[in-house]
Amino acid sequence: MLTRREALTLTGSALGAALLAPALPLSALAQGPAVDGLMQPGPLGDVWLGPDNARCTIIEYASMTCSHCAAFHKSTWPALKERWVDTGKVRFTLREFPLDPLATAAFMLARADNAARYYPITDMLFDQQANWAFVPKPLDALEQMMRQAGFSKEKFEATLKDQTLYDAVNAVKEKAMTTFKVNATPTFFINGQKYQGEMTIDGMEKVIKPIVGA
């Protein structure tokens, strides 16, 4: 496993090699039910949107540097949130599955301040992914991006030096790999059923509607 120091010294070429691993743009493929323990949060807890008693629960495993994850959050997530999460029919959480050290760093920044701005930061970084994840000096670009979220240089560096936070983010990924057999991003668990690959709103609604009785 790469150390936090290696994450802080990322170069564009190293990132390019790491980014060869993201998932292919697969259509959603349902797989067998998830094993017990899927709802158990990781060491940092889950940041849920939607009510506890929603009939449909969606867990997404994503990487901040995955282009398919960014496409989902740009094209599908706004409609999913408006139609289903905000109306109380779906409960949603995003879990960390970083494919490379830069994605780990991005998730660490989103988890700063006890994840008080988890979704505003992850939404911003997905929306602006091309401007920081695929540039010659990605870590410098990420630092510039985080200034929009109020991060000083000192806070940025201190967050990325937090070994406990680094270990916790990677623990979520390790559990997903070993226990839930997640091996690509994005991967969704909808009421325990596994779907791999970027999903459209139409594809998601085909799964959601029978669950919620819509």
Beta-strand runs (E) in the chain: 29-33, 48-49, 56-62, 90-96, 187-190, 193-196
pLDDT of amino acid 9: 46
pLDDT in tens, 107-161: 999 999 999 999 999 999 999 999 999 999 999 999 999 999 999 999 999 999 9
Say if strands 56-62 and 90-96 run parallel, antiparallel, or are unpaired. Answer: parallel
Cα angle 81, 176, 60 (rounded to 5 degrees) comes to 10
pLDDT of amino acid 214: 80
pLDDT of amino acid 34: 53
Per-residue pLDDT of the chain (214 residues), as tens digits, is 444 444 444 433 333 333 333 333 334 455 555 556 899 999 999 999 999 999 999 999 999 999 999 999 999 999 999 999 999 999 999 999 999 999 999 999 999 999 999 999 999 999 999 999 999 999 999 999 999 999 999 999 999 999 999 999 999 999 999 999 999 999 999 999 999 999 999 999 999 999 999 8
Using DSSP's 3-state secondary structure scheme, residue 208 falls into helix
Q: How far apart are CA 185 and CA 197, in angstroms?
A: 6
pLDDT of amino acid 16: 37
